Structure 1
């Protein structure tokens, strides 16, 4: 098993493997590959020890939020909506869709989870 930024990379291509990390999408993975000087079809097995050390520095330099930092930031944003008592914040509090989706016939999962949670 190969680990990049404490995440198991299952894919054989470096670009796809970076997408397995929480917070890094396809575009950010492309930027990391370009800044490291790798092609899109670069294999993970060909990485050397020095390359593993450069990856966190490149991610930090590109200001990409990953894992815990991203989760803290998202929680802060939702808590701010709750504090401001916005409509979106109230929908988050009730665990219902917050972006205008209908709930009359859809959103069954959100409704079921809402009823099972104990506050």
Structure 2
């Protein structure tokens, strides 16, 4: 198993798919990395040489924020909003949708399981 950015990527998958196991790399970035390094995206990870794995590792370390650093950055951005007490920060703090979605009847994922209200039954 190749280890890139602290993640064991599966060896039997194609390079394009295997790179997406790293948090912060999706289909577009995976394709960008493989094209930049000249690695065919349909090749399997097990077929890559150690040199190619090293090139991928260096390209990700140099040009992308991934895994722990990305998680930390996102958490710090949310914490900053909460400390500012702006509208988005208050919504994060209350555990409600942040981007203007309806909350009267929906938003169950963000709000959690519905709490029964006594007196509603007939």
Give the TM-score range, shorter chain. Answer: 0.7 to 0.9
TM-score w.r.t. length of structure 2: 0.81
Q: Are 1:103 and 2:103 matched, yes or no?
A: yes
Question: Which structure 2 segments of 5+ residues have no match?
Answer: 116-122
**Partner residue of 2:29?**
28
Q: CA RMSD in A?
A: 1.9
> What do residues 68-119 of structure 1 show as CA deviations (whole Å, max 9, x unaligned)?
0001100111111112211000010011110111111111122226x8xxxx
Which shifted more, 65-74 or 52-61? 52-61
Larger Rg: 2
Question: Which structure 1 segments of 5+ residues have no match?
Answer: none
Measured in 2, the distance between the counterparts of 1:40 and 1:47 equals: 11
Number of residues of Structure 1 aligned to a counterpart in Structure 2 = 113
TM-score w.r.t. length of structure 1: 0.83
The structure 1 segments of at least 4 consecutive aligned residues displaced by more than 3 Å after TM superposition are: 1-4
